[in-house]
Amino acid sequence: MPGITREEVAHLARLSRLELKSEELDHFAEQLNDIVDAVARVSEIAAEDVPPTSHPLPLTNVMRADEVRPSLRPDEVLAAAPAAEEQRFRVPQILGED
């Protein structure tokens, strides 16, 4: 198994929306390598014919009745927002100017 390089950590950080500092990249590369080496053992016993388990309970698509119910109060929810305007969350620009 190839090791996790500094460049790979930078890529994972981008995917994870983490603006890592340069010194963090080296430190995490070393630690993630150790961890990945240790956890790769799972493939030793994961035979073809073993079905995967994603959850302890055999549940699929738990539904509730589609009825109007009281929701959280907008003023209480927006009180916890970093920025709000006109009863909406105010966010930084999502699309560029052009």
80 forms part of the interface with other proteins (CB under 8 A): yes
Taking the alpha carbons of 86, 90, 93, 94 in that order, is the dihedral positive or negative? negative
Phi, psi of 85 (to 5 degrees): -155, 135
Q: For other proteins, which residue of 23, 59, 68, 70 counts as binding (CB under 8 A)?
A: 59
What is the nearest approach in angstroms of other proteins to the Cβ of residue 86? 15
25 forms part of the interface with other proteins (CB under 8 A): no
Distances in whole angstroms, Cα of residue 20 to Cα of each of 5, 50, 63: 15, 38, 40
Cα 68 versus chain centre, distance: 31
76 forms part of the interface with other proteins (CB under 8 A): yes
Please give the helix or strand (H or E) that residue 72 lies within, else none. Answer: none
Q: For other proteins, which residue of 55, 67, 86, 87 counts as binding (CB under 8 A)?
A: 55
Binding site for other proteins (CB under 8 A): 4, 8-9, 12-13, 15-21, 24, 28, 31-32, 34-36, 38-47, 50-57, 59, 62, 64, 72-73, 76-77, 79-83, 89, 91-94, 96
